[in-house]
Structure 1
Amino acid sequence: MTDTTTNPGERRRTAAGIRSLTLGETKLTFVPDGQATLNARMLLPEPSEEFWAEHADYLDEGGHLMASVGSLLVEHDGRALLIDAGAGPITMGPPLNTYGVITGGALLENLATLGHTPADIEAIAFTHLHADHFGWAWHPAPGSDRPVFAGIPYLVAESEWSQRHFPEAQGMADMINAMAPWVRTVAEGEEIFPGVTVRYMPGHSAGHAAYVITAGGKKAVAFGDAFHSPLQIVHPRWENTFDHDHAKSTRLREDLLFELAEPDTIGFGVHFPEPFGRVEITDMAAWHPVDA
């Protein structure tokens, strides 16, 4: 697994770089696009000041949680799929993002580092329609009026696409309209790529989806924004201000923890500082990054 940051405290408050692991004949790689600095107390309003003092290694000097922004590259037998498409070459702060600042723009460069161009990607599958997950799907490519990935299928859960009025009402209507010509909706349980199936996980957004990758006798769950931070692994019942439906999100997190704790199961958290990991449940659940 590629990982150039070794100090655990630094890793918890640093956006992830390129990191890879292999399941059988399938390779999974986190492709960074940028980072988000999120107001920790606004994102997770329930923890006490004492909690944040005890977990200061997750925060920068301004009290922000540092989150990764990017995509998951799935490679199998010469084929390539992206799950999510980063924020794109923009910076988003208030008023669209009232909880901090999200920056993107590095995805294509990092794809090139991995030996890929946009032409190598056969489809992009989206966990949900929030701007930090579909940026490169709508933003015009330099010198063009079309996105750099235009022409390939944009796979969106039917339940999310049919309820796109929710993100549109949050200021993303123009972005969603720009990607609409290439959208193809996908159903629960549909296999969209060898070993990759759709799993509906509503809660964070009205039709939020995850993608389950099985290969080599192992399973990886790309759970999108079911969790934003490893701290939610320990405290799954804490409300996340970003969530569309708090009750559904809480139930989902609790159920998902038990699945991620199963043998030969790996989680992928796109916003985690250490995006690949396993869950261990003793007295409490804990996220253990996969380092090799």
Structure 2
Amino acid sequence: MTYDASAGGGFEAVSHFATQDGRLKASIHSFVIETPARRIVVDTALGSHKRGRPVEAWNNLRPPLLNRLTESGFPPEPIDTVLFTHLHMDHVGWNTHLVDGVWVAPFTNSRHLIVAGDLDHWRRYAETATGGMRLAYAAAFADSVRPVLDAGLVDTVGSNHAISDEVRLISTPGHTAGHVSVETASAGERAVITGDSIHHPCQLAHPEWTSADDLDAEQAVRTRRELLSALAYDQALLIGTHFAGPTAGRVLRDGESFRLRIDD
């Protein structure tokens, strides 16, 4: 794994994304995009009061996401769109929260846009769950996806859907069947929120490294190489959904691989 000198040198750069004994760091992010006409949330992280998750620390959380959004000037009520890179449990949690024991949507004025292929896959997956991780995904679908479907808040879209002049989806399959990344473009600048097409900066140096949760690992590698090549070509900003420390940087070519430049 290589880092540009502008990232602060070896140990400082590694401290952003890995411990000194080589354990990778990761985090889980939700994003807000504001355009002249839209207020958009991208992915809704782990959520509150959720149970049945395979990582013990993900259960019964009380994260103050809604409070933080409000404090930042983005209360739930004016949010008009919620986008999903995919429907894994760490990307859909704040679709709902508990109110008097019932899972209800906090983004009640938002259309929740889900790629049709991803929704179909996870709906079938949840309906046929029998054990292990399948039950965990079924639990997440039941408490975080099914309620917004039943409330009529979901619109299914294609994997290259344009939300506005500034925001569109990019098909980045492999991690899940209908996985997408989110591109924003404004004032001559471009940025891409990766979702799980890139989990960690180490995959810039080694695009062939895959996640155990990739549905189609070979496709995920092809997708990652294509996305990184495109980002390196025009120096677009990469925004990592799971990047700990600095969440965004520029992709540079490094021989047959890539590296991340973290701007000041």
Smaller-chain TM-score range?
A: 0.7 to 0.9
Task: Give distance in 2, aligned partners of 1:87 and 1:162.
Answer: 21
Runs of 4+ in 1 over 2 A off after TM superposition: 6-14, 63-66, 95-98, 100-104, 138-145, 165-173
TM-score w.r.t. length of structure 1 = 0.73
User: Comparing 219-228 with 182-191, which one deviates more in the overlay?
Assistant: 182-191
* Structure 1 residues 167 and 199: alpha-carbon distance in aligned structure 2, compared to 1, 3 A threshold: farther
Structure 2 residues not aligned, in runs of 5+: 1-7
2:5 aligned partner: none
Task: Give distance in 2, aligned partners of 1:277 and 1:142.
Answer: 42
The alignment yields a C-alpha RMSD, in angstroms, of 2.7
The counterpart of 1:74, out of the listed 33, 46, 66, is: 33
Report the identity percentage: 28
Q: Trace 1:37-116 onto structure 2 (pairs within 5 A).
A: 58-59=18-19, 64-77=23-36, 79-90=38-49, 96-97=53-54, 101-102=57-58, 105-116=63-74
Q: Trace 1:123-134 onto structure 2 (pairs within 5 A).
A: 123-134=81-92
Q: Residue by residue, what CA displacement relative to the aligned partner does 1:213-244 show, whole Å, maximum 9, x if unpaired?
A: 11111211111001111111111101211111
- For the residue of structure 1 that corresponds to 2:29, the secondary structure is strand
TM-score w.r.t. length of structure 2 = 0.80
2:253 aligned partner: 281
* Structure 1 residues 13 and 154: alpha-carbon distance in aligned structure 2, compared to 1, 3 A threshold: farther
Structure 1 residues not aligned, in runs of 5+: 1-5, 15-56
2:105 aligned partner: 147
Bigger proportion of residues as strand: 1
Q: CA contact under 8 A between 1:156 and 1:185: conserved in structure 2? A: yes
Q: Residue by residue, what CA displacement relative to the aligned partner does 1:135-165 show, whole Å, maximum 9, x if unpaired?
A: 1103335776412113421101111112124
Q: CA contact under 8 A between 2:49 and 2:98: conserved in structure 1? A: no
Q: CA contact under 8 A between 2:77 and 2:108: conserved in structure 1? A: no
* Structure 1 residues 90 and 230: alpha-carbon distance in aligned structure 2, compared to 1, 3 A threshold: farther
Task: Give distance in 1, aligned partners of 2:157 and 2:223.
Answer: 20
1:159 aligned partner: 117
Q: Give the AA of the match of 1:154.
A: H
Aligned length: 240
1:235 aligned partner: 206
